[in-house]
Amino acid sequence: MSGTDKSKTGLTLDGPVIILVEPQLGENIGMAARAMGNFALTRLRIVNPRDGWPNIAAQRAAAGADHILEKVELFDTVAQAVADLDLLFATSARAHDQAKPVVGPEAATTEIGSHVASGGRAGILFGRERWGLTNEEVALANRIITFPVNPGFASLNLAQAVLLVGYEWFKQATSGALPHGMPERSERASQHQIQAFFENLVRELDRVEFLRPPEKRDTMLVNLRNIFTRMDPTKQDMHTLHGVVMAIAEGRKGPAKGGVLDGAQATRLRALLAEHGQSGASDSSSTVRGLARLLRRNPTDAERLLWQALSRDRRFAGQFKRQTPVGRHIPDFVSFVHRIAVELVNAGESETIAADRAARREWLQARDYRVIEMPAADIEIDLEGQLARLVALTSQQAG
């Protein structure tokens, strides 16, 4: 499995010595070294390798574990290779009828960890590929390690045996800590957010008569709610799901294709924009820009009417821009010439949207912008009256 990161510093652990007794194939030595490197085992001793040393096949199979092969210690006999150790384990897949403890790799590495921590020197013997260790070699060990494998097919490849022991050693040495986990990109969604999403979902499902027959509606709603609460969703999850529901509801002619939002849809989008802008999450800026672009591409009827008037009326032509950033804020309309910001207010807006607009107004006014709020309904009913308000403001400035 790939995953080696050259930019990261490997762990240095004081672990057991790995001793390969008369290995026959250089490839097995290299793969054993690779397994050692995976689990921070660095001390490798080889007793009388059949094809001599150094071995090019071992180097090729080591796949980057050269730091282990370069420090290999060679010995002529097992007795010489283990002479300086005071705790020795012999690996074996078959019974040797010797009166000494037989343990699994987990118990063995736990004992090795305690022994090494107290200043001891431990080693693990691995036998030949064909017939393993002799009785005399096993007799040198304090314990026997065996593996819980299929008794009808118990023989392990040399590197596999080293890998199993190395894994258990590293797991106990690092308390089983994993190298990485799921990244936390957004804080957990609040019950308010989940409820707002669910109400939006139910509203759209009712439009297509999904929640029927009526006698099953309550059960269906409970089941649907449980789907999302089991997810333990984040704020970003809720924003994404809101967008999915809206895209499905609007279809091919909806906002994603440059349509027109109604007041309720615009209010939901503005709530998302305000809420995410206040979250302070690392991904807020990109999400806020994305939602702002969606609002800019998809004006409500009131925005469209006002924008057409501001663009065509000679009194304002070229003086206003729509959904344009002013610092970190994006008012609905802004005139840099007159330092006027226009905010549209849709019916039924939430406290979150109102608080966001108030913060934006305070920020703009502190920078000498005059902020005028226009109810969307007033624009649709009396557009000329709202334009007259703007004319009065610009005239005051000119005067």
342-373 pLDDT, tens digit per residue, is 998 888 777 878 888 888 899 999 999 999 99
In the block, tokens 């390969």 appear at 20
The H or E element spanning position 108 is helix 105-117
Q: Are the CB atoms for 68 and 39 separated by under 8 Å? A: no
Q: Is the pLDDT of residue 280 over 60?
A: no
Identify whether residues 282 and 355 lie together within a single domain: no
Amino acid identity for residue 90 in this structure: A
**Reported confidence tier of residue 139, pLDDT bands at 50, 70, 90:** very high
For 184-239, write each residue's pLDDT tens digit. 666 788 888 888 888 888 988 888 888 888 899 999 999 999 998 888 888 878 87
Q: What does residue 269 show for φ and ψ, rounded to 5 degrees?
A: -65, -40
**179 found inside a domain:** no
**3 found inside a domain:** no
Amino acid identity for residue 244 in this structure: V
Burial label, 93 (beta-carbon count in 10 A; 0-12, 13-18, 19+):
middle
Q: Which of 148-152, 299-303, 393-397 has the lowest mean pLDDT?
A: 393-397
CATH of residue 379's domain is: 3.40.960.10
The pTM assigned to this predicted structure is 0.52
Question: Residue 145: which domain range?
Answer: 17-173
Number of structural domains in the chain: 3
Choose the most confident range, by mean pLDDT, from 40-49, 229-238, 341-350, 379-388: 40-49
In the block, tokens 């800026």 appear at 285
- Return the structure tokens found at 339: 């330092």
Q: Quick check: bond before 325 cis, omega within 30?
A: no
**101 found inside a domain:** yes
- Residue 393 and residue 372: Cα distance in Å, rounded? 9
What pLDDT is recorded for position 233? 85
